[in-house]
Amino acid sequence: MPEHETVGPHGSPSREVGDFLRRRTEQIAQRWADEPLFRTVFTVSRDEAVEAGRIVVEALAQVADTDQVHDPDAAGFTVVREQLARMGAARSRAGFTTAQVSNDVDALRPPVENLLLADLPEEDSDRVRECATALTVLMGTLRLVVLETALSEGQALIERQQLQLMEVATPVIKLWDGIVAVPLIGTLDSARSQVVMETLLEAVVDQHARFAILDITGVPTVDSLVAQHLMKTVAAARLMGAECVVSGIRPAIAQTMVHLGLDLGNVITRASLADALAYTLHKLGAGIVDATPGGAGSR
């Protein structure tokens, strides 16, 4: 934008916009306090909204001073980023879409523009246009910063939840002395199956488990990738000296696996977790005896 670099009698247009913003901080803040973006966030008192508006205007003036009106990474924005994020988040929580938030920010522009035009009546029209353009660019950048902050906020939330899901979804349960089980719930991807494998093997060491049961009742689909992950886990458990049993393959899934030609090789499979437990108990040499009266005598 070459017109920003032309230096007039009062410095470059963006510098002049900076001066104007500083001169009119109070009025702009007052007008912004009535705009929906500020009004809905600072509901308690109008003074608070005015104060917030003042901080934003000062930040904008600082950005304008450094001729960086088109740069969202300008140093001036870092001060207000948190505050803008708060406002953006409040609007999203209220059920507004990103586009609506964007419009809210855009609504801040007209009041400032009117003030600017009123401030420069005696300047020639080219100069006024240049200043107005600089202001528009600056407000556009502010809008970008607000949206960027709001989006990164959402991204961070998703990442946090992914991590939580990962932790919650892979519990290792001790079923018996020497028998541990992992009930797998949800879709298995590489990252999750890696976590499953690690936690299962750690549990095998900690609990001195001779048997590990992988229950896939909660896994909605089994494709070749999931089958491969299962085989890997079974192989790793075997290398450590534990025997792995896969249980909970539903009929439909069994059919799919046969159709796909997936070969689980020499992996031991059982229909349900109960069957797997019975099998491992039997292998451990622990029998289950009915406690019904007379049951033992009649045998």
Q: Please identify which residue in the block is written with the tokens 């609504």.
A: 107
Task: Tell me which residues in 152-181 interact with another protein (CB under 8 A).
Answer: 178
**Is residue 189 part of the contact set for another protein (CB under 8 A)?**
no
Q: Tell which residue, 77, 41, 74, 37, has the closest CA to residue 58.
A: 77
CB of 284 to another protein, least distance (A): 5
> DSSP characters for 144-208?
HHHHHHHHHHHHHHHHHHHHHHHHHT---EEEETTEEEEEEES---HHHHHHHHHHHHHHHHHTT
Q: Which of 34, 51, 202, 223 binds another protein (CB under 8 A)?
A: 202
For 5-86, strand residue ranges (E) read: none
Q: Binding another protein by CB under 8 A: which of 23, 160, 174, 232?
A: 232
Closer to another protein by Cβ: residue 5 or 177: 177
Among 236, 253, 264, 267, binds another protein (CB under 8 A): 236
239 sits near another protein (criterion: CB under 8 A): yes
Residue 294 token pair: 């007379």
For residues 253 and 266, what is the distance between their CA atoms, to the nearest angstrom? Answer: 18
Nearer to another protein, 167 or 198 (CB): 198
**Binding of another protein at residue 197 (CB under 8 A)?**
yes
- Among candidate residues 252, 241, 244, 191, the one with its CA nearest the CA of residue 217: 252
Distance (Å, rounded) from C-alpha 285 to C-alpha 239?
22
- Please identify, using beta-carbon distances, which residue of 118 and 288 lies nearer to another protein: 288
User: Is the CB of 179 or the CB of 184 nearer to another protein?
Assistant: 179
Kindly tell me which of 186 and 241 has the beta carbon lying closer to another protein: 241
Footprint on this chain of another protein (rule: CB under 8 A): 178, 197-198, 201-202, 204-205, 208-210, 232, 235-242, 282-287, 299
